[in-house]
Structure 1
Amino acid sequence: MATEFAMPKLGLTMESGTILQWLVPDGAEVRSGQAVLIVETDKVETEIEASGSGVLAQTGDVGEEYACGVRIGWFLEPGESPPEAATGPRQAPAQASTAPLSHTQPAAAAAPSAAPTRVPGERVLASPAAKRLARELGVELAVIAGTGPKGRITERDVRAALDASSAPALGEATPMATTAPDLSAAVSPPATLAARQLADLLGVDLRIVRASAADGRISRADVAVHVREVLARLSPPVEPARPAPPSAAPETKPAAADEAPPLAQTPTEEIPLRGMRGVIADRMSASLRSMAQLTLTMDVDMSAVVAERAALAEADRSDNGVGTADAAVPGYTDYVVAATAAALRAHPRINSQVTADAVALLGDIHVGLAVALDDGLLVPVIRHADRLSLSEIAAETKRLAGGAREGALGYDDFQGATFTVTALGMFGVDAFTPVINPPNTAILGVGRIRTETDWSGGNPAARPVLTLSLTWDHRAFDGAPAARFAGAVRDWLESR
């Protein structure tokens, strides 16, 4: 009996996953619990295990994004056919409440027989992968017929449209080249991995693509430029829009909420708002729209912490590999995390989440630690931080930060944060306005340790000072509780 294999929901915040790779071939016999594919979520790339046993019939396509709960395959008995095989195009499962974000059909069904008819200004439904490919190649999505659910355009539809109009020409030399390339050479020209992948996807011979880089290396952008040049030669001229009759009143429509303003100039590079970058953009915008966020700052005298760290470092050197030499000296952020966990235990209102009609106080204290990457930000979670010693927190932050940068953490490492700590002090920042990480009600920013002059004893004395920046949701609690919480963090650090 056929059993559906759906995109799993790995955590409360996971809404969809993109298939990066199937680890077993289509039609392979698998057993429950066996790793069968790699999925990219908004946070990590992770292996997905088979939820059943049998012959795996894959219906999910590599590079496409599917909502949690949507079918990506079937587990079949030997000799059994997928239930939808006799009905033609793939369909989203009837019991799934959410349609796939992008769902492709077999190649035979992907090529549209005619361009779709759309009302001017009508929103075009397309998967993120289809939009990205169309944008790179300069293809107008409005003239492509979608084969996904509800007419959604998939990446395969864009490729099919290219194949139908220009497949024979993509491998030909463009007439814009002044010299015909010598295709007899067996050696492929130097090219980036992304360029080779796009060329393989579209059937482009890299030997006829002109490199824009000084070292002659072909980039993905060079391949896209080549394809656009070929399409420009093959595309028929577009008829200008007919003006409305003089008697007709001009139609005015409000700008779409997600409509971007026109570019002020030609960009040197475009970074797609997808994957991690897209999730950060969506969630931070939603955070600011949905919460009444305010920020306060508070200085902390770090003399005690600096002295304690110096003593631990000296002990570490003296032990010559014994005792504390086996454990890293806690960093300043580790101290702040430990102080935050203690303060959250004393001020439970801060360890909360706003629901539709209440402020829910959360019993467990899980502190998220923002880790900066080259292309975004991840927030792994120190679970039950209030139960850990300072040295245990230091070891956990080292594991989480290193794993986040190396892509070695699991999905569970990012789940359940009730409060977040983010630091910019290593970049020379004194204070800043952190944005709350939903569904938390507060976030604590950590600045650099700087030297200030203390006059409290009558004589000037240098002291190390750190600024804490607390952003809180005014819906959940007011300024006085926020200030008392920040004061508790300060007191913990100053009383070491």
Structure 2
Amino acid sequence: MTQITVPEVGESVTEATVGEWLKKPGDLVKAGDPIVELETDKVNLEITANEDGTLHEILKQSGETVVVGDVLATLVSGDSAATTPAETSQASTSAVSNDQPANPVQEAPVVRATPDVRRLADQEGINLSEVPTQGNRGRVTHTDVEAYIQQTREKAPVQPQFAPEAPQAPQSPEMPPLSSSPTQVTTSPAATDDLRPVERVKMSRRRLTIANRLVNAQHTAAMLTTFNEVDMTKILDIRQRRRDEFEKRHGIRLGFMSFFTKASIAALKAFPRLNAEIEGDEMILKHYYDIGIAVSTDNGLVVPVVRNADRLNFAGLEKAIAELAIKARDNKLSIADLQGGTFTITNGGVFGSLLSTPILNAPQVAILGMHKIEERPVVVQGQIVVRPMMYLALSYDHRIVDGSEAVRFLVLIKELLEDPEALLLEG
């Protein structure tokens, strides 16, 4: 009998939540087959079998909190199926009731979903096998469940709500009869609130960690944000002219992130304190450039890191960013993908954000916020013209970054983006 335990997944990760069981007792497994998912505060992990055998017993159920070393299940080595606890119980029952015909049990389809999605489905009384999925390799996501809930509510008939009639006051001989005007019903605030639909959804481990870190960043850093805007005309022109050739040569589309990453690295080299962190009474100035790229997923925001981004050309950056984004959305990021990082770029423009104040990704001391490209009238050489403009936001830790330094840093990024050829010279 082999034990399947919670492995060590990183120095800072000590707990996890049991996610979806991908195998059930009695299933034959091969070495390397994924058996169960674990949800940590950083990534989702698939625990695999170390050898061929049969899954014997599941000891930790979906939603349970586990720590490193806990036994999740047991595995019987070998290719032959082992008798599971469920099979033993079924055999005993059959021996007692031999005169009754066996009823075939319809096996429920296996549905892939994270623990927080399962909790939402349980609270709403939804069978996950009935929820249609939108990609994600058959995995049911929060978006799928919420869309199903909305669709169900739209189809459900609306029941009219009637207020209870107020009791008639007793008539006294000395009092005149009550008038026949309509009765006014007074409902207490508490009674009104009871009729309003509410939903309680337990936050996932990752969501709780994100919340704690964002609050901690605001409490510990002297955070300030400065703004500027950039004319995207020349970058859009380059992308339009070179798009097909670039994709044919490198197998990847030329996006915006490579331009912004290149410009940020050039500015970090000119203003090294924005590529630092604070440790006690010291500043740690980092002379390498591991750039974090914020990615939104169903389970919350994650920031995978492009290592040594200064050594990559435009195609290398686009490929690295695309690979990390795909891994993030497929819950395939490793702890190593998320560790470190010296500076972060976040793009709220993909969701339509025109302006925002990004929060620091501690212990980093600066983060660049991109936004939606919008055509606006601007004055160029005394003439009013329409240009594709983007607002930029730089949040920084004022404890070690002076205001003038932050402003000049952002101005340099603006100048480099408005003159993309300068990025080639910087590279």
Counterpart position of 1:335: 259
CA distance in 2, matches of 1:286, 1:314: 45
CA apart distance, 1:292: 1.5
Shift of 1:381: 1.7
In structure 2, what residue type is equivalent to 1:462?
A: V
Displacement of 1:464: 2.6
Alignment correspondent of 2:331:
407
> Residue 44 of structure 1 contacts residue 409 of structure 1 at CA under 8 Å; is this kept in 2?
yes
Q: Per-residue CA shift, 1:430-480, capped at 9, x if unaligned?
A: 221111122221111101222333434233333332221011112232212
The 8 Å contact of residues 447 and 468 in structure 1, kept in 2 or not, is answered as yes
* Deviation readout 1:104-143 (Å, 9 max, x if unpaired): xxxxxxxxxxxxxxxxxxxxxxxxx9xx98xx88xxxxxx
- Which whole-Å deviations, capped at 9, do the CAs of 1:394-437 have from their partners, x for residues lacking one? 12222222332233433332222222111112333222111112
Partner Cα separation in structure 2 for residue 424 and residue 265 of structure 1: 37
Distance (whole Å) between structure 1 residues aligned to residue 352 and residue 360 of structure 2:
22
- Change in Cα spacing, 1:214 to 1:485, as seen in structure 2 (3 Å) is closer
Match of 1:46 in 2: 45
TM-align CA RMSD: 4.2
The answer to whether the 8 Å contact 1:454/1:462 transfers is yes
**Structure 2 contact 2–76 (Cα < 8 Å) conserved:** no
More RCO (CA 8 Å, sep 6+): 2
The answer to whether the 8 A contact 2:45-2:332 is kept is no
- Find out whether 1:18 has 2:17 as its counterpart: yes
Contact 1:446 1:467 in 2 (8 A): yes
Offset, 1:296: 0.6
- Equivalent residue number for residue 323 of structure 1: 249
Q: Give 2:207's aligned residue.
A: 277
Q: Which one has the bigger strand percentage?
A: 2
Q: Is it true that 1:391 corresponds to 2:315 in the alignment?
A: yes
Equivalent residue for 1:303?
Answer: 233
Change (3 A) 1:479 1:462: same
Say yes or no: does 1:469 pair with 2:393.
yes
1:480 aligns with 2:404: yes
2:418 matched residue in structure 1: 494
Equivalent-residue separation in structure 2 for 1:448 and 1:214 (angstroms): 33
Match of 2:160 in 1: none
Match of 1:358 among 274, 282, 285: 282
Q: 1:136-215 alignment to 2 at 5 Å?
A: 191-193=126-128
Q: Contact 1:370–1:377 (CA<8 Å) still a contact in 2?
A: yes
Distance 1:214 1:75 in 2: 45
Q: Does the 8 Å contact 2:356/2:369 carry over to 1?
A: yes
TM-score (norm. length: structure 1): 0.54
Q: Distance in 2 between matches of 1:373 and 1:29?
A: 33
Residue 176 of structure 1: aligned partner: none
Kept in 2, the 8 Å contact 1:369–1:381? The answer is: yes
CA contact (8 A) 1:35 1:49 kept: yes
* Secondary structure of 1:14 counterpart: coil
Which residue does 1:257 correspond to in 2? none
Write the distance in 2 (CA, Å) between the matches of 1:356 and 1:29: 53
Are the counterparts in 2 of residues 53 and 75 from structure 1 also a CA contact under 8 Å?
A: no
Residue deviations 1:299-352, cap 9 Å, x none?
122232122112213646xxxx8436x331x22233112211232233221122
Deviation at 1:11, TM superposition (A): 3.3
Structure 1 gaps of 5+ residues are 79-128, 138-189, 197-211, 217-262
Shift of 1:288: 1.4
Residue 347 (structure 2) aligned to one of 410, 423, 439: 423
> Deviation per CA, 1:183-217, whole angstroms, max 9, x where unpaired?
xxxxxxx9522899xxxxxxxxxxxxxxx95768x
Q: Would you say the 8 A contact 1:11–1:415 is kept in 2? A: no
User: Contact between 2:56 and 2:76, CA under 8 Å: does it hold in 1?
Assistant: no
Contact 2:5 2:72 in 1 (8 A): yes
Which residue identity does 1:193 align to in structure 2?
Answer: L
| Aligned residue type for 2:45 | T
Q: How many residues align?
A: 323
**Alpha-carbon distance between aligned partners in 1 of 2:322 and 2:369, rounded to the nearest angstrom:** 19
Residue 301 of structure 1 aligns to which amino acid in structure 2?
Answer: D
1:256-275 map, 5 Å: 266-275=196-205
- The 3-state SS of whatever aligns with 2:359 is coil
Task: Extract unaligned runs of 5+ from structure 2.
Answer: 78-114, 132-151, 157-192, 421-427
1:7, distance to aligned residue in structure 2 (A) = 3.8
User: How far apart are the structure 1 equivalents of 2:380 and 2:11?
Assistant: 50
TM-score (ref. length: structure 2)? 0.62
Structure 1 residues 401, 32: CA separation in 2 closer, same or farther (over 3 Å shift)? Answer: closer
Instruction: Give secondary structure in 2 for the equivalent of 1:308.
Output: helix
Contact 1:58/1:72 (<8 A) preserved: no
Give 1:359 deviation, angstroms: 2.4
Identity rate, percent: 31
